[in-house]
Structure 1
Amino acid sequence: MIIKNTTLSFFLLFTAFAFSQNTIENSGIETIQKPASFLDSIKGSFVKYDHTVKSDSLWMNQIGTSLDIYNNLAAEINTVNIDKDIDAELPTSLLKERLAKMDSKSPFNIEYNQGLENLIKSFLKNRKKAFASQMAVAEYYFPIFEEALAKQNIPLEIKYLAVVESALNPKAISRVGATGLWQFMYNTGKQYNLNIDSYVDERSDPLKASAAAAQYMTNMFTIFNDWNLVLASYNSGPGNVNKAIRRSGGQQNFWDIKKHLPLETQGYVPAFLATMYIYEYHKEHGIIPKKALVRHFATDTVMVKKEMSFAQISNLLDIPVEQLEALNPSYKRNVIPCYSDKNHYLTLPSCKVGVFTSNEDKIYAYVAYEKEKNNQNKRTVFKKDSTVIASNSRVKYYKVKRGDNLSEIAKNNNVAVSDLKKWNHIKGNAVASGKSLKIIIEKNADTGAAFVSNQEKSKTIIVKDNTSVAAAESKNTIDKKDTLVANTANTYIVQKGDNLNTIAKKNNTTVAEIKEWNHLTSNNLKLGAALQVSSPAVETETQEAVAVVVPELKNIHYEVKKGDNLGSISKKFGSSIADLKNWNNLHSNNLAVGNVLTVAKNEVAINTNNATVDSFKKKELGTSAKNMDANYLVQKGDSLFSISKKYPGVTVSDLKKWNNITGDDLTPGMDLKIKG
């Protein structure tokens, strides 16, 4: 054991030294370098297998197609007219014959009625393509369901219930919070021993959730002794089924008590039977299942002994993160945690399990190295932050009172909510009464007085001594993403992604001069700070107070086109997928062509009617975009859209044309041409 530990330590020391030779310094830009040499040395020593096969990242897209059914199934069940025949190429006599065959070999009571016929015909008319895609996904999940059901001696047909519940999407979440393939509510999941915490939600685990669903069915069958009533109780609870039995005079048949059940449950069992029919007779109706990209027998599991992220596994095993997410849906943060009292398992394509198990020691050595490197980076950043606080700011503390919220506290202290949360390690928006909050105040915050004219109180800010920008009505200027650059003849407002190098280039000056004019002792900049970017000697006495115009901010909208998805729209406009979903109240990744989405919040409205802003735009901003060539160094988080906003009059298509760019992807460090 001592020899093994010494060897591992020497190996880590040697590879850390090798990695240090590959560090790239980029002045003013803080980037995370991928430890290429260390990663390559680890992977180069792996025991490999010749029979490995290519992993297909399209698996995630295949799962996504099933959302078509999941999102609209309930509405269709409740809106089908059960009294009127739907025109479809399925004679009633033939349907009755097929239902009778299904009934003869099934423990479910399958009776023909007009409502069931109409629902089957509605599915055939509107959802053939969706079912064809979903049947490919079923090749992966149905063997898992059948194994769990067989262990409890449950009818295997209940596997079709997961189609009705979640459309076979393990990440499906209903409007009331039911989650996973079998749509367990939080309390029910806990009752059936499904672990739910900050890192793991086993309601989305196909194996464990299927076992829990089978146990639930067993428990309900001992009560009702009828599988149709078991299904009804799964949807609305055993209490509602018992009420319906009493109200019907003691009837024990679903079709006899149906009208006494909740409306959703009335269509629930017919939807299950209609789904079973379509799976049984899909060939007769011309439904050709798509090719399954991943099948159950092509995967295997391995126990993970150390905490590791999907990104690390992806780098080591060359598996797309999207596929890891699809195969391991119960891990909420794309991290496999390590608990002392509980084992966690990783599902991988079978060809990768052998690589993982044969190289476990090397994989865990890489994870340990990554963890130590991240901890060292955190310590370095903390030291930098401490220096800034000591030299440029003062710290005060505020005790939270009852009724306070972060927005009001931030506003009263002239700081950003995001900074307040960062300084106090607050993740959400709630703050407990009595908690002491640390607030970092700039020493010059009170001396950089701001004067706002009565006539243009919400439009114009007067900045004195070029030290800071402050305004009572500027809530939308400093705190927002991609803050507007408010240039004047000698003043520059620091925006997201700026550093002294890029600011010096933009204003035809040097870093040393900017530091001298602004009395800066380090290269750290605060978002929203006003910097003097030209020599004070060129100013006239009348320039003591300089007007900085804040144009109107508006939301940016985009109409969804054919082929668009949230990922491509996110890249195009530089907004995260989470923001796009939040701004547009989206509960899934599905988009309809023609929908208008909000793709950016509080951006500058260039076509404003304000004369002052128009003049400012033509005289100042127009010069940099139209009358001279420039270069822009791409930084982390940039997109073509966000860069184009920095140069009014320049469009995304201009940037693509000038730099021979075909897609929307940008790499930090790229040098973009901005032509006049």
Structure 2
Amino acid sequence: MFERWLRRSGRYMALFREVLQKEGLPPDLVHLVFVESGFNLHARSSSAAVGPWQFLRSTGRLFGLTVNQWVDERKDPEKSTVAAARYLKHLYTIFNDWPLTLASYNAGEGTILRAIKRQGTTNYWDLRLPRQTEDYVPQFMAVLAISRDPSKYGFDDVELDDPMNFDEIALRGSVDLRAIARLSECSPDELRDLNPAVLRHAAPGSDGLTMLRVPKGKGQVIMTKLQDGVAVPAVDLTVRHRVRRGETLQGIANQYHVDAARLARANGIGRKHPLRRGSVLTVRSSFTGKVALADLEPGDPRGSTRYVPTRDIRVPRTTLNAASDAEGRVTHVVRRGETLASIAAQYDVSPEDVRRWNHLSISKLRRGTRLKIRTGDAAIASPKVLTSDSLQIAALPAARPASSRRTVVVQRGETLGVIARRHGTTITALKRANRLDGTVIRTGQRLKIPA
């Protein structure tokens, strides 16, 4: 499987690294994509995370990606990488520590902050987290090691796919890919492969502007034909939007880059018929007429296929200055017949140490349990580290008591997996809290969120 991922990475690796570097992040973070999706632009997880960086719909929109019936920018190689870079930068401003930042990308910052508050440490390697999150950073490190020296690990014969090579064109109007394919004398499938965010036959524009990738050398061909008067009719795209709690008409109009007054008239919204949660709005593209070359000012950021509008994301008042250290940390998987005392003796530590490091309330162990063990100097608590952690953790908001319960209303398209990840819990815990026999939930259903 990794061989297939490595081969596929050749198409996107240089592009992703360039975007990350331009966004001010270490280019080696590109190796997260191996762990997230194996460089599959169309990957979709059981929790409905989509694309190479595995964005949930809500998180993608939060960081500027457009997701609707016509386009899903979570699948776009450039735009999704820009959004992922901004999300990672946001997380790093909270933790100032890369292992905790990566763990938060996987599980959500709320899950990690609550674990830090409850367990009293800012060291990622000492935190007990969901199994997937505990494995996430080691998997990233393993992939990074293999990618830097593939021959050492037996992958020297893997032939990488050719890198993406394309021209960019800026057009006015919503564009039918089939018409552009005819202009550029290539197949519609070639255009779809270069523009994977386009879900159907047409690419809708933002503010009437559509950016497309076309095969290398075809950009000038299309520009020349349009300048010579070749007519390409714009596509009048229609999107249906279900109003969610807290949404306003202006906010919805901004999301689709249309005029709010026009949107209200088209849907009969007014004083007598106000906007209501659950109602479905018809949103039409704001541009009609013929497709034409866009006349953009030099340096206009919209004139790039990697443009993602910036969002003002609020950072929590309390941030950390963590320093995760893996030195002397070992994970031990309990085998048949092992006891707390025998495991402690194996690593020359006390059973009480093992209980404290793993927050165990009883001494009995089950086979397969993963225990965090510290060896050497790591087994001796540093007063300086303890003091630093205590001061930082004391400033964090208090963790919710065990009896605390929140209630959420299931939105259209949400699954138990999506809701569990968003609120830092598990599907099993959600089913138990709500006495569910299966995983099927319905829109409008109220669910209790366990603490």
Greater fraction of residues in helix: 1
Larger relative contact order (C-alpha < 8 A, sep ≥ 6)?
Answer: 2
